[in-house]
Structure formats: C-alpha cells, structure tokens
Amino acid sequence: MPNFPAPIESRLPHVGTTIFTVMSRLAQECGAINLSQGFPDFNADDLLFERVAHWMRAGHNQYAPMAGTAALRAAIAAKVETLYGTAYDVEREITVTAGATQALFTAVTACVRAGDEVIVFEPVYDSYVPAIEPAGGKVVRMRLAAPDYRPDWDAVAAAIGPRTRMIMINTPHNPTATVWTRDDLDRLAALVRGTGIVVVADEVYEHIVFDGAAHASCAAHPELAQRSFVVSSFGKTYHITGWKVGYVLAPRELMAEFRKVHQFNVFTVNTPVQLALADYMADASRHLGLAAFYQAKRDFFRAALAASRFELLPSHGTYFQLARYAAISDLDDAAFCEHLTRNVGVAAIPVSAFFADGRDEHVIRFCFAKNEATLAAACAKLVAL
C-alpha cells in the first residue's frame, strides 16, 4: 500500500465554496436569471479591447515591472489627485494588483502577525476573514445593524485594544449598498490617532455613489491616508471583472511591506491590459459617468419591483439592492434564495452568508449590473410572487 502523508490540518476549517459560486452554479443548472454574483451581463467599451490588441501586436507581451507599468501608475496618480487632492508617489506609493481581492489579501499578509486583532464590519465581504486567519490574526466583528447598516463608533472604540493591528472598512459597502460619510472617516481617524493601527479601505465601488453624494475616500482624508491601504478595482469601474486588475495606494513605508509580499504571490499583472487601461483612463468621463449609469439601472430595477411584495432597502451605492421578503415567505434566506432560483427562475444571494453566525434577517441581495431586458425579465417573475 502507498504511504500517503497524514491529512493536513486546514488553515480555514470553516470555509467552503463561496456563496457566489454556489448560487451562480445553481442559476446555471436551473436556467435562472442570475442576479446573484456581482458582475455585469454587458460588455465593456470596444475601444478598450482595441487598445489591448494594439499593445499585444506592438510586442508588449512580457513581464511588466513588479509594481505595474509606469503609464498606468501615472494615470492612477493623476486620477486620485484630481478626485481626492492627494498626490501619491508613482514610484513608491502605487501598485497595480491582480484584482482587489489580491490587494486585500496581500495587505493583510504584510501587516498582520499571530495574535493581532483585525476589526471588520459585519455583514462582511467573504474574502476578508480568509485573509486574516491564515496570517494568525483574530477577527473582531462589529455589527452593522439593519436597516441602515451604519457603524456604531462607540462600539468600535470599545473593541480597540492593545492587540488591534488593523481595521478593514468597505465603502460603498457590499452587500448593504450603504455609503460612509466624511463624518464616519473623521470618527475612524479619531479612534486610530496615536496608535499603530493600519486601515485597509476597500473602495472598489468608489465611482458608484448615487443621488449626488460624493464618495468619502481614505485617500482624501489626510490623517487616514497616512496609515491606509486604499484598494480599487478596474473590473468594477470598466465592466471587466474577469480581467482581475486593481490597484492599491499606500504611504511608502506601508507600500514597501506590501510589495515584499506582492512580488512573490503575484509578481506582476499582465502587460497589454495595463497599457490599455492607462490609455482608457485618459478620458475621465469613463469613470465619472459611472454613478449616473448605475443609478439609472437602480431606479429601473426599483421601479419594476414597486408592485412586488418585496420591501426594498435603500441603495446608496454599489450595484446591489437589498430586499426583505417577509411578506412573501417565512423560509430562511438561504432556503428562500434556493426556492427563487429553482422555482421562480431568479438567483439572489442570502445576506446571512455575510455573517459568521449565519444571522438571518430575511434579507437577500440582488445585483442590478445587468441589461434592462435582463432586469425586466427578472422583475416580472419577482412581481408575480
């Protein structure tokens, strides 16, 4: 008999297949309209594809510099300074990443040591905890209470202790579609002032803020910018989630540690796409127009569901819409989402998946980053419930 090694003790014993993969697979199996996983069902601008092809044909198909091409880092720096008034050093404070998830994981790996505590806000996006625990960090959860899902800063203050190494924030927030304000950032800054706490700011939906509100970025907050990794995503901004390209901003001392990890877990991101993105960013209307583009979809979706028995919660940013279904069913949210997918033909995400204890508030999440025909077809099914 072969002598197999002993089973490996899992670093993530409580982690299975993500709810997004589960629901997208079920939607495909059932032929349901997929409003679960957060990706568009429409294409990006043809010009972006043409620029990628241009740089490929021009021979730019080998490794880019570890931190990203100079052209793309310069374009990012220009955008950030224009929007947020902060000048990040192109050489030492901006790194192009293989998507935002890699940026988040790398920032945690670079900073968190065994026994360190990391504060997250729950419902929490599913990649945060699996980044913290393998590094030996202890997750400290702060609850965002329905229906407005605002942070309780007094509770956060009470949770901060001598082992607190990092606070991870997400605004605009997935899954709740809430948007933090400048006052929230001021409160956060006051809590971390005089400490060694690092902030990781997941701002991948920075350009999708509705109703005339402005995105409050840690990059625009002078005090927080000095201790923050600020993460963004080209996938969310330009409808190219499958390309997996993002970036991170950080002061040079933090970025030096980030790059020590980045150079070995990714090294670099594909060259022609970086050069194409640098070209595409030259027209600022392509990211500045995103809020109006998605607000129109939000409003269409909400109007189409107005006659339904769903209770629609506010959606202030992102491309997600939360809905209570208590008037329709007493099933738990996971079972209700399975029912919707199998029997109604529309897939959604149970919000309990974003809570460690599976807290079920009978709220589900829809993604409206879809063509209007897709949304209309889905809403016709949902209104009939």
* Cβ atoms 277, 355 nearer than 8 A: no
pLDDT at 1 > cutoff 60:
no
Average pLDDT over residues 89-114: 98
Helix then strand then coil, % of the chain, to nearest 5: 40, 15, 40
pLDDT given for residue 13 in this prediction: 76
pLDDT digits (tens, 9 = 90+) for 157-196: 999 999 999 999 999 999 999 999 999 999 999 999 999 9
pLDDT at 127 > cutoff 90:
yes
pLDDT given for residue 136 in this prediction: 96
* Cβ atoms 302, 312 nearer than 8 A: yes
pLDDT given for residue 3 in this prediction: 67
Does an H or E element contain 323, and which? Answer: strand 320-324
Cα–Cα distance measured from residue 160 to residue 231, given in angstroms and rounded to the nearest whole number = 23
Task: Tell me what percent of the residues of the chain surpass a pLDDT of 70.
Answer: 98
Closest by CA to 125, choosing from 13, 21, 262, 18, is 18
The residues, any chain, with a CB within 8 Å of residue 144's CB and separated by 6 or more, are 121, 122, 123, 150, 151, 173, 176, 178
Task: Tell me what percent of the residues of the chain surpass a pLDDT of 90.
Answer: 91
CATH classification code of 62-283: 3.40.640.10
Integer-rounded Cα radius of gyration of the chain? 21
pLDDT given for residue 37 in this prediction: 87
Cα–Cα distance measured from residue 43 to residue 142, given in angstroms and rounded to the nearest whole number = 37
Average pLDDT over residues 369-376: 97
Average pLDDT over residues 304-330: 98
* Cβ atoms 247, 96 nearer than 8 A: yes
Determine the 3-state secondary structure of 97 from DSSP: strand
Closest by CA to 298, choosing from 177, 207, 145, is 177
pLDDT given for residue 228 in this prediction: 98
| Four-residue CA torsion sign, 59, 61, 66, 72 | positive
pLDDT given for residue 147 in this prediction: 85
Amino acid at residue number 336: F
pLDDT digits (tens, 9 = 90+) for 214-268: 999 999 999 999 999 999 999 999 999 999 999 999 999 999 999 999 999 999 9
Give pairs for 212-215: CB < 8 Å, separation 24+: 213/179, 213/316, 213/317, 215/171, 215/172, 215/179, 215/317
pLDDT given for residue 4 in this prediction: 64
213-248 burial: b if 16+ Cβ within 10 Å, else e:
eebbbbbbbeebbebbbbbbbbbbbbbbbebbbbbb
Closest by CA to 191, choosing from 212, 161, 163, is 161
For domain 19-44+288-383, the CATH superfamily is Aspartate Aminotransferase, domain 1 (3.90.1150.10)
107-126 burial: b if 16+ Cβ within 10 Å, else e:
bbbbbbeeebbbbbbbbbbb
The residues, any chain, with a CB within 8 Å of residue 104's CB and separated by 6 or more, are 127, 128, 131, 168, 200, 202, 231
Helices (H), the chain: 19-30, 46-57, 70-84, 100-111, 128-132, 153-159, 182-192, 222-225, 234-238, 252-265, 271-280, 285-288, 290-304, 333-339, 372-383
| 203 phi, psi to nearest 5 deg | -120, 40
The residues, any chain, with a CB within 8 Å of residue 133's CB and separated by 6 or more, are 11, 12, 139
Cα–Cα distance measured from residue 313 to residue 308, given in angstroms and rounded to the nearest whole number = 13
pLDDT at 133 > cutoff 70:
yes
Going from N- to C-terminal start, the domains of the chain cover: 19-44+288-383, 62-283
pLDDT given for residue 2 in this prediction: 60
pLDDT given for residue 274 in this prediction: 98
Average pLDDT over residues 50-77: 98
